[in-house]
Amino acid sequence: MIGFTRGHNFELLGRIARAQGQNQTARDYFESARPGFEDWLAKNPEELSEWEGKARAYIAEIDAALGRKEDAIQEGRHAVELWPITRDARVAAEIAAIMAVVYLWSGERDAAIDRIGRIASLPGSPTAGDLKLNPIWDELRNDPRFDVVKRNYLAYSSFLQATLETMPLDEKTKAKRRYDMGQFIDAMSPSNFFMTNVLSRDLDNSFTLTRSLSSIGPHL
């Protein structure tokens, strides 16, 4: 996992720098990220695990960040094709979320919103909090279609919670199931994995942490 992790670390730092308007720093981080993902793919040519699909998706994101639109979209679509929902819904949603970023950074706003809308109810998709707070979606935040996606996610969450309340369970068991349901709704999102959740927090707190992360970038 060394190559993938190294690439992912630099990719995260690239997202952070981009969100902070440090465009040249972001480019440097994204360019540093690509070899890690390429190395991982070279060592795993069968592409049997989710990490190969995500490596391709992140390479697509990097190409989009560096202005290589056609390469980005082609590579991203390949990653999506390798991991359809029928293969693994969670992994498919996580890769599709990266593909939405690819479209967004390639200037394809409609395609980005469409991609997010398709996966809004799947485990692994961005949570409502992620869609509301993560700076990566700032370019879409004033689009009414994006607001519909957020509302649909909340409606889905409410449906799951209401369904739980109708189940014939004793209060102790139901309380535990409420907790489990909350964990499912929130924790299955990429925004709640360490390497991607920084940008979905309160910006003041996140940038305090991201400054610390940025300081270790040259040593990765």
Tell if the pTM clears 0.75, that is, is over it.
no
The whole-number average pLDDT for the span 177-186 is 66
Looking at residues 53-65, what average pLDDT do you find? 96
Task: Identify the band that residue 121 occupies on the pLDDT scale cut at 50, 70 and 90.
Answer: confident
Q: Where are the domains of the chain?
A: 2-219
- Note the pLDDT tens digit of each residue in 17-57: 999 999 999 999 999 999 999 999 999 988 889 999 999 99
102 close to 76: Cβ distance less than 8 angstroms: yes
Read off the pLDDT of each residue in 124-140 and give the average, rounded to a whole number.
Answer: 78
Q: How confident is the model at residue 172 (pLDDT cuts 50, 70, 90)?
A: confident
pLDDT of 81-95, one tens digit each? 999 989 998 899 999
> 7 to each of 133, 148, 155, 162, how far by Cα in Å?
24, 33, 35, 41
Tell me the pLDDT tens digit for each residue of 154-170.
555 666 667 777 878 88
